[in-house]
Amino acid sequence: MSSWITGDQPKCNKRNADNDLVVNGMEICSMKIDSKVTSRFAHNVITSRAVNRGNVPKEVFFDVELPKTAFITNFSMTIDGVTYPGTIKEKEAAKKQYEKAVSRGQTAGLVKASGRKTEKFTVSVNIKAASTVTFELTYEELLKRQFGKYEMFIKVKPKQLVKDFEIEVDIFEPQGITELEAEGTFITNELQNTIKKTFSGKKGHISFKPTLDQQRTCANCSDSVLDGDFTVRYDVKRTTPDNLQIVNGYFVHFFAPTNLPKLSKNIIFVLDTSGSMSGRGIEQTKEALLKILDDIKEDDFFNFVLFDSKIFTWKETLIKATPENLDEARKFVQHISAQGLTNLHGGLMRGIDILNAAHEENLVPKRSASIIIMLTDGQPNVGVSDTHEIEKAVKKAIDGRYTLYNLGFGSGVDYGFLERMALENKGLARRIYPDSDAALQLQGFYDEVSNPMLIDVELNYPENEISDLTTNTFKHFYDGSEIVVAGRFVDSNQNHLSVDVRGEGAHNALLYTTEQGAEQTAQAFQEQQYIFGEYIERLWAYLTIEQLLEKRITATGEEKENLTAQALALSLLYKFVTPLTSMVVTKPEENDNEEGIADKPTEASPLYHSSAAAPTWYTSGITVNGELIGDKRANSDAKIQNSYFGKLGIANKHLGVKLTVTPETITIQNGDEKTGFTWLDSVTLQQAGLTLIINRKKNLVLSMGSGVSFVVVLHQVWKKHPLHQDFLGLYTLKSDKLSEKTHGLLGQFFQPIDFTILEIHPGSDPKKPDATMIVKNNELTVTRGWQKDYRRDPAHGVDIPCWFVHDNGAGLIDGVHTDYIVSSLF
């Protein structure tokens, strides 16, 4: 795909740069983020040029955070005039290249989930002294409308001063632009005037080009103030409820009626009040609910269902939101507490029963929207705990009548289960991050679904004219949102289309018919020259792939295979990096032709420690990953929550052997053959070049020939302990046998690290002094503490002194902690 950056680009001059422009020998000469938005579809190109100002080869990094909703479509790097392009392949076809890179100790994964809304694309390359490199990344996304505006999010973080930095956004909307705004979380009063904004008719333009001095955090500083989010919002003119555009055999239909009366809603809050929600989690939930109660309309009906080991309902039926009932509900919410286990199935079924009864007994208006919002922070462990059984029961009970929204609080949830169950019931799942703003996250989600305008919306097109149509039925249309349907014509020369739209409103049924021809779209497009390619065709492909992948989540068997095949074919045809494809980036010979793989992370991949698989290290052909668990419930008195190894996976690619260890079982797999043991066994097993020794109820030793050996220690606690649970310890023997390229969250520390401790002084805890650690050219504040070493005394351990590094090891570990999270043990 061609770049949309035009004109002469700033060059990296061979002369020496100002000292404050050079960091670790590298100068970023220019960085440009160029966005073209046509009919909500955004095409973004990020170009960065850098030069090695040193006298020796240097490694240069290209780090970009892009929206999770975007698909990467192209990447290339040009070194001294030679271009190294990325190629998009089927994920399975790229797998061997990935394994080859990992076995050499290289960091092959280029894309990682890095935040609530972003994924990080990272690539590095060694370049010679005085050489230049140009990186170019292209990605596309369909902008969604929320709260009456389309939003485009750009992460800005160059990490150093940039001589020529620019963001440029061009927007073209055939309907006309009614408002346009841009803001940045890092924008100071001085920088505010550098944002240039104009819009007229169908065109809008935004530019942001700070000078070097404007980028500085202070007058003589060499640090950059450019660090945060740059957001563009706009909306379009709506003289009719919809807009239809036809270009070259494809169409897109936007539907967003205005000035409709709001439907009343019937809402059941199904809330997890088990012990793990105690402390901050339950307090934030209560804070959000109290604010939500302030927003509930008097025509609405509502109720609360609480579940822990038992099920508790506030009222036996849905209650109208009168001022008196809302006051009573506030008192109820204030007294909610958390304890016990997690009977998720019982809570959901009770909520569905209440809705069913309300409709059967005509307690609620016939024309109203019924919604279930379920919040949980864990996994079902009492009552019906099999997630597949819960999914089947909930789907049968709802029977397509209501929408289910599942909110997963924190990291202990089975997000895949919540997502499947929501999608099967015409809703969606959302992850709630356990940060200081968790209450605002909960309230923000409620705001998105609090104003239904239509239910059971159908957009119907002539069947004999359309061959491929995206989703055209929707349970709800919410105020401030937009429905988008795209399709492909049977006859690519067709230039007109009629549409019937049906839906149920507050007072009557909606029936709307429209017809538009391609000549109207073409006339609108004559007024501008910067539309990129076949944008409607690419919009259709993007939307189709997105929906196929969503359907694939709940599908099984042959249906899932067919959906996968369709999504894969379109991903390869239109060159999108999706969960089914990978981009292979090959570096030049000076980098040993190292290959990186850019994959698309999925939201169901665990993000945090309690259910994440954290890579501990890679050595030659060996991978060790660990899945972390927390305590049975959060300790509200502790600032830092404990985490432990709950599962370990050790794989030797050369031997084709995988070992999986939990506090209950030990499984060794050689090819398709599996052998299982428990910790009650005493075993010595030799196979495929390795030796496994299990010492009953104590530990196991896995030896691989004359190389490194791994020791897994079983730590058992009292079964009825209110807080702790069994966990595993991981140690190495003959660690000198590890490869010099050993890496990973723990593996990187098997090579010596130079550090210095200075300025030991009292900390906030009188028993734990603070100090300054100088490591990797960073100054870190560290705190003295103690940890247990169980190698000599597995039962009690030996206390050893250590320094605690704050902020998830920032400044000590290579990269950031989220770089070490994977979706599964193997």
Burial zone of 138 (CB within 10 Å; 0-12 exposed, 13-18 middle, 19+ buried):
buried
Task: Work out the number of other CB atoms within 10 angstroms of the CB of residue 235.
Answer: 20
Classify residue 137: in a domain, yes or no.
Answer: yes
Beta strands 164-172 and 690-695 are unpaired
pLDDT at 527 > cutoff 70? no
CA angle, residues 280, 429, 639, in degrees to nearest 5:
20
**pLDDT (tens digit per residue) in 337-346:** 999 889 999 9
**pLDDT (tens digit per residue) in 775-797:** 877 788 888 888 877 766 666 77
Task: Work out the number of other CB atoms within 10 angstroms of the CB of residue 667.
Answer: 14
**Mean pLDDT confidence for 32-47:** 96
**Mean pLDDT confidence for 456-467:** 94
| Confidence category of residue 5, pLDDT binned at 50, 70, 90 | very low
Are 528 and 506 a contacting pair, CB within 8 Å?
no
Classify residue 66: in a domain, yes or no.
Answer: yes
DSSP letters of 410-448?
SSSS-HHHHHHHHHHTT--EEEE--STTHHHHHHHHHHH
**Mean pLDDT confidence for 667-678:** 85
Burial zone of 632 (CB within 10 Å; 0-12 exposed, 13-18 middle, 19+ buried):
middle
Cα–Cα dist 608/433, whole Å? 10
Do 428 and 467 have their domain in common? no
pLDDT at 530 > cutoff 50? no
**Mean pLDDT confidence for 584-610:** 58
Lookup result for tokens 């999608």: 423
Do 197 and 147 have their domain in common? yes
CATH assignment of the domain containing 358: 3.40.50.410
Do 163 and 208 have their domain in common? yes
**Mean pLDDT confidence for 444-461:** 94
Quote the number of domains for the chain. Answer: 5
Task: Work out the number of other CB atoms within 10 angstroms of the CB of residue 779.
Answer: 11
Do 129 and 197 have their domain in common? yes
Nearest to 92, CA basis, from 659, 546, 564, 556: 564
Lookup result for tokens 């076809």: 93
Cα–Cα dist 333/338, whole Å? 12
Classify residue 33: in a domain, yes or no.
Answer: yes
pLDDT at 526 > cutoff 80? no
| Confidence category of residue 298, pLDDT binned at 50, 70, 90 | very high
Classify residue 541: in a domain, yes or no.
Answer: no
**pLDDT (tens digit per residue) in 156-203:** 989 899 999 999 999 999 999 999 999 999 998 888 899 999 999 999
**Mean pLDDT confidence for 669-684:** 85
What sign results for the dihedral spanned by CA atoms 816, 819, 825, 826? Answer: negative
Do 123 and 147 have their domain in common? yes
Do 649 and 711 have their domain in common? yes
pLDDT the model gives residue 613: 39
Classify 21 as helix, strand or coil.
Answer: helix
Burial zone of 28 (CB within 10 Å; 0-12 exposed, 13-18 middle, 19+ buried):
buried
pLDDT the model gives residue 71: 93
Do 441 and 483 have their domain in common? no
Burial zone of 560 (CB within 10 Å; 0-12 exposed, 13-18 middle, 19+ buried):
middle
Are 409 and 364 a contacting pair, CB within 8 Å?
no
Do 157 and 34 have their domain in common? yes
Indicate the residue type of 501: V
| Confidence category of residue 523, pLDDT binned at 50, 70, 90 | low
Cα–Cα dist 103/109, whole Å? 13
| Confidence category of residue 10, pLDDT binned at 50, 70, 90 | very low
Indicate the residue type of 740: E
Are 501 and 512 a contacting pair, CB within 8 Å?
yes
Do 409 and 490 have their domain in common? no
To 10 degrees, what angle do helices 415-424 and 535-554 make? 110
Cα–Cα dist 239/259, whole Å? 12
Residue 214 carries which DSSP code? H
Q: Which residue has the higher pLDDT, 99 or 271?
A: 271
CA angle, residues 132, 137, 140, in degrees to nearest 5:
165
pLDDT the model gives residue 351: 97
pLDDT the model gives residue 720: 78
Cα–Cα dist 74/80, whole Å? 20
Classify residue 791: in a domain, yes or no.
Answer: yes
Q: What is the mean pLDDT of the chain?
A: 85
**pLDDT (tens digit per residue) in 346-394:** 999 999 999 999 999 999 998 999 999 999 988 888 899 889 999 999 9
Cα–Cα dist 23/732, whole Å? 38
| Confidence category of residue 521, pLDDT binned at 50, 70, 90 | low
**Mean pLDDT confidence for 462-476:** 94
**pLDDT (tens digit per residue) in 124-164:** 788 888 899 999 999 999 999 999 999 999 999 898 999 99
Q: Which residue has the higher pLDDT, 331 or 93?
A: 331
Phi, psi of 723 (to 5 degrees): -120, -55
| Confidence category of residue 96, pLDDT binned at 50, 70, 90 | low
pLDDT the model gives residue 747: 81
Do 299 and 393 have their domain in common? yes
Q: Where are the beta strands (DSSP E) in 256-388?
A: 264-272, 301-307, 311-313, 319-320, 368-376
Q: Which of 450, 480, 508 is the last residue of a domain?
A: 450
% of the chain residues with pLDDT over 70: 86
Do 83 and 36 have their domain in common? yes
Q: Domain span at residue 78?
A: 27-236+579-587
pLDDT at 763 > cutoff 50? yes
DSSP letters of 230-248?
EEEEEEE--SSSEEEEEET
Which tokens in the block code for residue 741?
């390229």
Nearest to 41, CA basis, from 139, 150, 140, 178: 140
Report for 88-92, 337-341, 806-810: range of highest mean pLDDT: 337-341
**pLDDT (tens digit per residue) in 729-757:** 888 876 667 776 778 888 888 777 888 88
| Confidence category of residue 414, pLDDT binned at 50, 70, 90 | confident
Do 729 and 794 have their domain in common? no
| Confidence category of residue 802, pLDDT binned at 50, 70, 90 | confident
In DSSP terms, 488 is beta-bridged to 250, 468
Cα–Cα dist 124/583, whole Å? 15
Q: Which of 423, 450, 477 is the last residue of a domain?
A: 450
Beta strands 613-619 and 622-630 are antiparallel
Classify residue 13: in a domain, yes or no.
Answer: no
CA angle, residues 283, 639, 604, in degrees to nearest 5:
70
Nearest to 542, CA basis, from 95, 136, 144: 144
Cα–Cα dist 659/700, whole Å? 11
Burial zone of 441 (CB within 10 Å; 0-12 exposed, 13-18 middle, 19+ buried):
buried
pLDDT at 315 > cutoff 90? yes
CATH assignment of the domain containing 101: 2.60.40
Are 667 and 712 a contacting pair, CB within 8 Å?
no
